[in-house]
Amino acid sequence: MRRARWLVTATLVLALAVIALGAYTRLTDAGLGCPDWPGCYGRLTPPAHATHIAEAQARFPGAEVDPFKARNEMVHRYLAGLLGLCVLAIFVVSRRLSRGRGLAATLLALVVFQAALGMWTVTMNLMPVVVVAHLFGGFALLSLLALLRVELSPDPLAPLPPVEPRLVRLLPLAWLAFAVLLAQIALGGWTSANYAAAVCAQLPWCEGGWSQQFSLRAAFSLPLGHESYEFGVLPYDARMSIHVLHRIGALIATGVLASLVLLCWRHALGACLRRLAVRVGALLALQVTLGLINVLAQVPLFNAVAHNLTAACLLATLVLLIRQLHASAGQRRGVPRPTLPAHAAA
């Protein structure tokens, strides 16, 4: 069990690195740094020397060979491949354990589908729908790994503290927060995939006259039939509408999540739930701050990567909070449910 926990913890850290590197790859416009898959210009390594660059250009005459972008893309692919092998190892090890088998099997299925999405991201030339699905897959992997790490924690059946009835009634609000956060992540991915992050440079909304050009229909129109979606294909009004929707979603998500954090803090009788609520609140505050910096500084690279990574951590932590609320609800009904030990909350 102890080795399994170490393996899951290492894989969790690796998943964070892959998510961060995926955001860096996308934000440096390196998503098509290698126009083929799984290799790079027909090789296992990106072209670095003049001879290799010339060979790559001759093999793919329609592509612009950029060694920097190719390197970013291949490093991301190799790290993602290592993550897949770690998930496979978790699945094999979990066969000998009494807990976590279902989560390990789900993780393996998800990482296989995530690999397919990575391939389609390249072969479909950054089609926005595929890019957003790939983003969701990475976030889901991180959340499931966090859940599995908790399932394998020591003393999973430690007694829960007495439960305040009002705390149990917070479950609908918690699931609402989960749904709202998923929608906001989807909007953020849609904004990035359509290159709409830097469209509006003013607060609180956009430049003057934006309301006359705002269109829900344009924001959610699916750009299909293009040879490539790199650098975006939507007109300004559609990108502006997407950007404004993301800001509106940020306001709604902040309100719902802040309410959940406040109520959990007020009614929690156990240290574990209180700590999880504090972590959700801290990540929410950080995410809002990073979002504001993105607008004011016109999407600086490091800040944009941090914004993406914080969103993934916020989702994973919210999932753990919901799990703890369900554990409390199960105890109140007299159903034995595993809980998250205070020293293992992560």
Asked if residue 167 and residue 310 are part of one domain, the reply reads yes
> How far, CA to CA in Å, does 19 sit from each of 80, 136, 247?
9, 10, 23
The catalytic residues are 73
Dist. CA 102–CA 144, nearest whole Å: 11
What is the b/e burial string over 53-69, where b = at least 16 CB atoms within 10 angstroms of the residue's CB? bebbeeeeeebebbbeb
Query: Closest Cα partner for 314 from 306, 303, 302, 325?
Result: 306
User: For residue 310, what pLDDT is reported?
Assistant: 98
- DSSP for 174-237, written as a single string: HHHHHHHHHHHHHHHHHHHHTT-TTS--SSSS-STTHHHH--HHHHT----S-S--TT--S-HH
Q: Which of 110, 125, 152 is the last residue of a domain?
A: 152
Asked if residue 307 and residue 222 are part of one domain, the reply reads yes
Range of the domain at 96: 1-152
Query: Closest Cα partner for 161 from 276, 269, 322?
Result: 269
pTM assigned to the model: 0.90
Dist. CA 336–CA 118, nearest whole Å: 40
User: For residue 169, what pLDDT is reported?
Assistant: 81
Asked if residue 300 and residue 218 are part of one domain, the reply reads yes
Structure tokens belonging to residue 343: 């020293």
User: For residue 164, what pLDDT is reported?
Assistant: 58
Q: Which of 95, 125, 152 is the last residue of a domain?
A: 152
Count of other CB atoms within 10 angstroms of residue 202? 11
Dist. CA 4–CA 22, nearest whole Å: 26
Dist. CA 161–CA 92, nearest whole Å: 35
Structure tokens belonging to residue 315: 């989702």
Give the residues across from 40 on adjacent strands. 43
Asked if residue 262 and residue 132 are part of one domain, the reply reads no
Ramachandran region, residue 208 (left: φ > 0; alpha: ψ -120 to 50; beta: rest) = beta
Asked if residue 181 and residue 145 are part of one domain, the reply reads no
Q: Could you list the pLDDT tens digit for every one of the 346 residues in the chain?
A: 778 899 999 999 999 999 999 999 999 999 999 999 999 999 999 998 899 999 999 999 888 899 999 999 999 999 999 999 999 999 999 988 888 899 999 999 999 999 999 999 999 999 999 999 999 999 999 999 999 999 888 754 444 555 556 777 889 999 999 999 999 999 999 999 999 999 998 888 888 788 899 999 999 988 888 999 999 999 999 999 999 999 999 999 999 999 999 999 888 767 888 899 999 999 999 999 999 999 999 999 999 999 999 999 999 999 999 998 887 766 544 444 444 443 444 4
Instruction: Tally the domains of the chain.
Output: 2
Asked if residue 170 and residue 208 are part of one domain, the reply reads yes
Asked if residue 19 and residue 38 are part of one domain, the reply reads yes
Asked if residue 215 and residue 135 are part of one domain, the reply reads no
Asked if residue 62 and residue 208 are part of one domain, the reply reads no
The conformation of residue 43, written as its DSSP 8-state character, comes to: B
Residue 142 CB partners (closer than 8 Å, separation 6+): 12, 15, 16, 19, 312, 313, 315, 316
Asked if residue 81 and residue 130 are part of one domain, the reply reads yes
User: For residue 334, what pLDDT is reported?
Assistant: 46
Asked if residue 167 and residue 69 are part of one domain, the reply reads no
Asked if residue 91 and residue 22 are part of one domain, the reply reads yes
Q: Which of 122, 152, 182 is the last residue of a domain?
A: 152
